Amino acid sequence: MPNQSTGTEAVLDLPGLQALVDALAATHTVIGPQVSDGAIVLGPLARVDQLPVGMGDDQDAGSYRLRERTDRAVFGYAASAVPAKRWVFPPREPMSRTHDDGTTVSVEPVLARPQRPVALFGVRSCDLAALAVHDRALLARPVPDPWYAQRRAGLFIVVAACTTPARSCFCVSMGTGPAPGAGFDLSLTELVEGEHRFLVTSGSPAGEQLLARLPTRAADTVDRSAADAALRQAAESMTRAMPTDGLAALLLGQPEHPAWAEVAQRCLACGNCTLACPTCFCTSIVETAELGSPVSERARVWDSCFTADFSHMHGGSVRTGISARYRQWMTHKLGAWVEQFGVSGCVGCGRCITWCPVGIDITEQARALARPAGQEPRERKP
């Protein structure tokens, strides 16, 4: 599955990778992958030695663990535990502050502009696709979300093509990877066989300008062939797939299918899947005030359609049972989302599978809805 970009291609070595980080840090706050608390997460990045060099991960349903690789790959892992969305759509976003001095009450809107624009470094193609989904849902509407728009402005994206997907990944079936599509500034494909190097491709004028300032050499047919082979092998190694043909109609047309009740017997309604998801954007509004302080703050915070209070209206919750909440999440993400935004709300990153405490597999749930009631699922090939 070769990279479809037609931008300028060049080759970076490891010192050149540090030059890239330094160039970004001159104008942006760089956020990149690193090991923390037993997982690969995204956080502030200044040096290449902070990256998860020589580390891989094993991810499957309800399972995540790091492992040491036999090489010095920098991007030799699958999707990070933390999605990239939190840097453009943070878990808590102040919206307004109210000041009551006992005589007058004033309300001040809050539109927190980051001191510096953010550069996302080494994010995966699934996160890139998820940002495009957010752009559709939060920007491409009659009234764009001002908080998202503020953080999205100036965002520089360096995407790292995924050459070592996990067992929980299924981006190929969603058309979102492992090679990145449009929307990046620079794309890196790591090659560890022979000379350890990175095939760099520009995807925007800003990426083109930055690439011209880096210590690179021209890419040749050997580099391009090696990158295409690595991505093709990654695509062929994926064992999970989402059955996308007719899926929206299948989901929306079977609200009483026994599969909803069956999954509810295992689902804990913990909301882990929605918090780990790179596209979920459900929020609630909270008001906070310190005792004795004349100032209170209104903020929006991440929420989940799996919580009982999320669908609370006058008289109580609309979706009182777990089966109804799971059905809402899955049918909206894979069905109604397409009608609303013209794109699926799933990018195949597999995080919801990995971080589900009981290992519920969204691809298997989709297949269950296509089976007649009572028919046992086929065993998934390893």
Asked if the structure places residue 377 within a domain, the reply is: no
**Is residue 97 included in any domain, yes or no?**
no
For residue 168 the two structure tokens come to 């929980």
At 381 the pLDDT is 43
- What is the pTM (predicted TM-score) of this model? 0.90
307, 362: one domain: yes
Strands in the chain per DSSP E = 9-12, 29-36, 39-44, 55-60, 63-68, 92-100, 105-109, 118-123, 156-160, 186-191, 197-202, 217-218, 283-289, 295-302, 312-313, 316-317
pLDDT of residue 315: 76
Structure tokens at 275: 């918090």
Residue 219 shares a structural domain with residue 362: no
In whole angstroms, what is the distance from residue 184 CA to residue 202 CA? Answer: 8
Domain membership of residue 168 (yes or no) is: yes
Domain boundary among 200, 218, 237: 237
Q: How many domains does the chain have?
A: 2
Q: Check whether residue 195 and residue 71 sit in a common domain.
A: yes
102 in a domain, yes or no?
Answer: no
Of 194, 219, 237, the position where a domain reaches its end is: 237
Residue 2, pLDDT score: 42
Look at residue 59 in the predicted model and tell me its pLDDT.
97
Q: Do 202 and 140 fall within a single domain?
A: yes
Does some domain include residue 96? no
List all residues 6 or more positions away from 293 whose beta carbon is below 8 Å from its beta carbon: none
pLDDT at 382: 41
Specify the pLDDT at position 199: 98
Looking at the structure, tell me whether residues 123 and 200 fall in a common domain: yes
Give the tens place of pLDDT for each residue, 102-115.
888 999 988 876 67
Q: Check the CA dihedral 337-274-266-79 and report its sign.
A: positive
So what's the pLDDT on residue 287?
92
For 340, the token pair is: 């609303």
What residues contact 163, with CB distance under 8 A and at least 6 apart?
75, 76, 178, 189, 190, 230, 231, 233, 234
Regarding whether 232 and 365 lie in a shared domain, the answer is: no
**Which parts of the chain register pLDDT below 70?**
1-6, 113-114, 372-382
- Enumerate the β-bridge partners of residue 41: 34
Q: Is 107 a domain residue? A: no
Other C-beta atoms lying within 10 Å of the C-beta of residue 53: 17
Shared domain for 284 and 143, answered yes or no, is: no
pLDDT of 291: 84
Q: Is residue 378 part of a domain?
A: no
Q: Would you say residue 341 lies in a domain?
A: yes
Both tokens of 276, joined, read: 């780990």
Final residue belonging to a domain, choices 193, 209, 237? 237
Task: For residue 261, give its domain range.
Answer: 247-294+302-370
Please tell me the distance from the alpha carbon of residue 334 to that of residue 336, in angstroms, as a whole number: 7
| Same domain, yes or no: 225 and 271 | no
Whether residues 225 and 270 fall in one domain: no
- Per-residue pLDDT tens digits for 362-374: 999 999 987 765 5
pLDDT tens for residues 292-324?
A: 888 999 999 999 999 988 877 777 777 889 999
Q: Domain check: are 56 and 198 in the same one?
A: yes
Does residue 165 share a domain with residue 82?
yes
> Do 262 and 195 share a structural domain?
no
